[in-house]
Amino acid sequence: MKALIGLWRIAAALALAAALGACASIPPGAGSNPADPWEVYNRHMFDLNDRVDRVTLKPVARAYEAALPRDLRVCINNVFLNLLEPVNAINNLLQAKPSEAMSDVARLFWNSTAGLLGCFDVAAKAGAPRSNEDFGQTLGRWGFGPGPYFVLPLLGPSSVRDASGRLFDFLGTDPLWYIQDIPVRNSLVGARLVDTRASLLPAEKVLDAAALDRYQFVRDAYLQLRRNLVYDGNPPRLEDPDDEDPEQAPPAPSSDANKPAADQPPPPSTR
């Protein structure tokens, strides 16, 4: 609990610094997008997060990538993803998708045993692909709109709904939270953070090369990805791309009716 309080104090300090700072470039009309009414704050926080990342986490991620061979990094990434299978299973159940939840449980068993704690994704080779579910998607599935786009201190792109979902996932279903040895738990959380940051290095190169406005590119990509995830890869078409996406709840899902198309690859993970 002390660690959580400390994290909130850091977040509050960063939020205050972002609100008072003037380092981010604010374009005319900022805040007019109905999906991003807090754009002025968000741009400041995005800029601050980027600066913190460039002097702390990014150099560590690059050193991690340089020090470990690719196969070992893939193994470590698979282990951390395997630990998230309970999160996938619980949220699939909450979304009324029992067959997907059973697949998640089976993946956890086979990858934790035959896959050596998840190092090897033997379940995927056997025809059980990895899910990518979280409580933010569950809330969206049952009718809760995303709310305003919201850049979290340190954690980055989110929305009001997804920020609440992250808190539930971490405190309620993430296995790492239940490790009683605090130093071990913090070490594993830190290792997972570095591993996740290292996995984003290739995407960052594309972002730097393609985006004239990095903030807008990340925001639009995040909102589109989350909408796609809520609707399992088949979102309804929007008449006007500038319209705020209400993410209206679809009819109560069955276990099979809402699966992504078989030839459509699952969207990349945002954890």
Weakest-pLDDT range from 19-23, 102-106, 182-186, 196-200: 19-23
pLDDT of residue 19: 45
pLDDT band at 111 (very low <50, low <70, confident <90, very high): very high
Sequence-distant (6+) residues with CB within 8 A of 50 are: 214
- What pLDDT score does 8 carry? 46
- For 208-243, the pLDDT digits (tens) are 777 788 999 999 999 999 999 999 988 887 765 555
DSSP string, 146-186: --SEEEETTTEEEEHHHHHHHHHIIIII-GGGG-S-HHHHH
Q: Which of 27-36, 54-63, 81-90, 237-246 has the lowest mean pLDDT?
A: 237-246
The predicted pLDDT at position 259 comes to: 44
Q: Which of 249, 107, 94, 117 is nearest to 173 (CA)?
A: 94
Model pTM score: 0.77
What digits encode the pLDDT tens for the residues 157-213?
999 999 999 999 988 889 998 999 999 999 999 999 999 999 999 888 888 777 788
pLDDT at 251: 46
Rounded CA gap, 269 and 78, in Å?
12
Whole-number pLDDT of residue 241? 52
pLDDT digits 0-9 by tens, 70-80: 999 999 999 99
Amino acid identity of residue 164, one-letter, is: S
**Contact of 173 with 60, CB cutoff 8 Å:** no
